[in-house]
Structure 1
Amino acid sequence: VQRTLGLPRGLELLPDFAPVGECRARLSPQAASATGIAAGTPVLLGPGDVHSTLVGLGLGVRPAVTRASIFGTSAIHACHILDPALMPAAPPGAMLQRFVLGDGYLLFQPSFNGATLFQHIGRIAAGLPAHAKPAYSGLILHPFLEPGGERAPYTSPNASGALFGLTAHARPEQIAWAAREGLAFVARASHEMMNAPAGVLSLGGGLAADPHFAGFLATLLDTQVERAGGAQAGLRGLAAIGARHLLGAGDAELAGSWVAAPDAVAAPRTGKLAQYARDKYALFVDLLDSISPHWQRMAAIRDLADMMETTRQ
């Protein structure tokens, strides 16, 4: 990193890399006094919040779970792979980390645009329901409304949202549901770009409480989707990591005692809904491929309009 950035000094100050299990110490008396925790308590330097949350969702812990999606403020899509060389190419914006609990790696796509999409849509279009039930339509929404664009799986600071198929017959609930479909479509695109192994997907974050969204995602991906509600997946993951490296817990114990079972499981549906999901996803991707080359021109016009508005004021 230092050489890539052209920094003249500082490399000698960086510590050597070490596996998570070796980054450990006992709490010093001084730190114990400051925190109120007993001196000598084992302290383990773990991975980041994303890695911990994915572990808490069962990724790489429960054998059937090979991929996961988290829909919080942002959206994160991940898979557990044993050999990163099997990827056809490094996906744009992806991050790769050695799996903290054993063999393999966690590959994940951290998006900017997650559940905040509903707040943005609701502010722009008044009257949208906060909790949308399925309202199928011809509307296709590209969910890139964050001002900073998007970082994964479509990597562009100029990425912007779009709503196609809008007519005077469109209803607010259809727009709200199209937004959820858009997030599901991006999830599928992410897992396809990562060449994620086939298997159960564990769903976390606020949208995991929505059975309708989980059901559509299961149909779109043609796989079972496990729902883990609540906001404790990250803490469960940290507990599992500590149990492995501090207590020597084995795989079966981690899966059975430290990583909670899913709250519910959504199965993929067949028939017209499956055809609707497949056809609409294909059109979503085709429209995205057509419009994304124009994002930079649209951004330039937007900047000019902002400048004119500032001058007018």
Structure 2
Amino acid sequence: MGAICVDAGTTVIKAVGYDSDGAELAVARRETRVTRPAPGHAEQDMRAVWEAVVSCVREVAPPDGVDFVAITAQGDGAWLGGSDGEPTGPAILWNDGRAASIVEEWAPLAEPAFRISGSSTASGLPNAILAWLARHDPSRLERSAACLTCGGWIFSRMTGVIAADESDASAPFMDLRERHYSPDLLRFFGISGELLPEIRSERVAGLVSSELGLAAGTPVVMAPYDIVSTALGSGAVSAGQACGILGTTISTEIVLDAPELDGEPIGITIAMPEDRYLRAFPTFAGTEVLQWACRLLGLPGPAALTELAATAPPGAGGLAFLPYLSPAGERAPFLDPQARGSLLGMSVEHGREHVARAVLEGLTLTVQDCLAASGRRPHELRVCGGGAASDVWVQLIADVTGLPVIRSADAEVGARGAYLVGLLATGAVPALAPAATRFVR
């Protein structure tokens, strides 16, 4: 029959319908709003996200049903629900910066925590958000029964099961060697663990929601969260393969056979299917920086920005850009909640094209810096996300990194990765590698 794969991003919810041969049949999209009610805050209406998911799924659902539904979504943050399964307030997102001062207080814990989890802490991770709520909104915690991620929230609405995928649970509380919550990490961060959902190794549960227009009992698969599913959907399924996501976040990622916990305590390490791990460096900088530059320069969109950048010489006439525009600072390839962006070396000889070029080069150097921080030299870099549509940017990444850069032919790469995991979880394929060979374009 086929499948439906949901990719619930930060600003757009998508549902992709596939036929039984893995061909994309239909895509539905709904924009979702991020609200910033106070400086540094980033929130979403949890019910609005669910309603967008329902609308997208109903749009692409075939009349004869599907073999499974698979879910991938934005990671991190805190999606708090009560004992009745309803939200106890808005979701606090991965790019929220309200807990920056708490992260700074935890600086002495950074290295010992990394040796257990393989991940550094940022203000948008659940430990920081829960600690902030304990200080500033304890009644929210008292009303809550579970701290989920976006994917966990959607899975719970579809199936009634409260759980976390191993990828969502990886940072900041997982003992990566054992793949369970670490009592030491909970103690480090002063978190009781009562709100943390069970880490579910069994990815499949039966659909119970009647809102989607699908048959009760349809298998629902909790795929890894978006940066992991996107790596899989790009074809990065085996150790040594690398992926670069040029989206709301720029995430540079390498697949490992085993966790590496003795390196520089920066970036995150995420449990993947088949006992593999993803060493990832997701920045707070990404296409949002391009949108900011477009507003600054009066350009209609990123495509116009990259075209303008191509008219300036390499090096942008000595103009340099630091792309740290997030109120949360930066988390990769270094952690600094106070990091802020700047244009350096500007003079009256610089024009709009130099600014555009400097912005693009600044983001590209972030990719190179993250590759360097990984300590690995992949033989190629697979890129995807909205930014990968730009020939100028992709060529610049190839020039700066010195790597062959391969673009995914799939527009919906995260959904494709969720599709591969859905096939694996439902027993339709024996392993991810042959599935990627067959279905990744």
Compute the TM-score of the two structures, normalised by the length of structure 2: 0.51
Match of 1:73 in 2: 248
* Other-structure match for 2:15: none
Instruction: Kindly indicate whether residue 356 of structure 2 is the aligned counterpart of residue 179 of structure 1.
Output: no
Q: Which whole-Å deviations, capped at 9, do the CAs of 1:179-237 have from their partners, x for residues lacking one?
A: 11111101110111011342210111111011111111112111110112664011100
Q: More relative contact order in 1 or in 2 (CA 8 Å, sep 6+)?
A: 1
Q: 1:96 matched to which residue of 2?
A: 269
Is 1:144 aligned with 2:324?
A: yes
SS at match of 1:43: strand
* Matching residue of 1:253: 434
Q: How much does 1:40 deviate?
A: 2.8
* Counterpart residue type for residue 130 of structure 1: L
Q: Is the 8 A contact 2:306 2:360 kept in 1?
A: no
Deviation for aligned residue 1:160: 1.2
1:42 to 219, 224, 237: 219
Q: Does 1:110 align with 2:110?
A: no
Residue type of the partner of 1:43?
V
Task: Indicate yes or no: 2:387 matched with 1:211.
Answer: no
Counterparts of 1:187-202 in structure 2, within 5 Å, are 187-202=367-382
RMSD: 2.6
Q: Secondary structure at the match of 1:40?
A: coil
User: C-alpha separation between the residues in 1 aligned to 2:203 and 2:355?
Assistant: 49
* Runs of at least 5 residues in structure 2 that lack an aligned partner in the other structure: 1-184
Residue 26 of structure 1: aligned partner: 206
Verify the 8 A CA contact 1:83 1:104 in the aligned structure 2: yes
Change (3 A) 1:252 1:95: closer
CA contact 2:243–2:253 (8 Å) conserved in 1: yes
| Higher share of residues assigned strand | 2
Residues 31-84 of structure 1 deviation map (CA, whole Å, 9 limit, x = unaligned): 1534322233222222212211111111125x8x71111111221111112233
Q: Distance in 2 between matches of 1:97 and 1:9?
A: 20
Shift of 1:248: 2.6
Change (3 A) 1:230 1:72: farther
Change beyond 3 A, Cα 1:76–1:252: closer
- CA, structure 1 residues 126+24, in 2 after alignment: closer, same or farther (shift >3 Å)? closer
User: Which of structures 1 and 2 has the bigger CA Rg?
Assistant: 1
Answer yes or no: is 1:170 the counterpart of 2:350.
Answer: yes
Secondary structure of 2:305's match? coil
Identical-pair percentage: 29
Task: Say which is worse superposed, 148-157 or 216-225, in terms of deviation.
Answer: 148-157
What is the CA–CA distance in structure 1 between the aligned matches of 2:381 and 2:193, rounded to whole Å? 45
CA deviations over 1:224-273 (Å, ceiling 9, x no partner): 1011266401110000111122113444531233222xxxxxxxxxxxxx
Secondary structure in 2 matching 1:35: coil
Residues 139 and 49 of structure 1: CA distance in aligned 2, closer, same or farther (over 3 Å):
same
- Return closer, same or farther for 1:223/1:206 CA change in 2, 3 Å cut-off: same
SS at match of 1:141: strand
| Alpha-carbon displacement from aligned partner over 1:139-168 (angstroms, at most 9, x marks no partner) | 211111223221222211211112222221
Find the counterpart in structure 2 of residue 224 from structure 1. 404
In the superposition, relative to structure 1, how do residues 219 and 131 fare at CA in structure 2: closer, same or farther (>3 Å)? closer
Write out per-residue CA displacement over residues 257-291 of structure 1, whole angstroms, 9 at most, x where no aligned residue: 3222xxxxxxxxxxxxxxxxxxxxxxxxxxxxxxx
Contact 2:420 2:432 in 1 (8 A): no
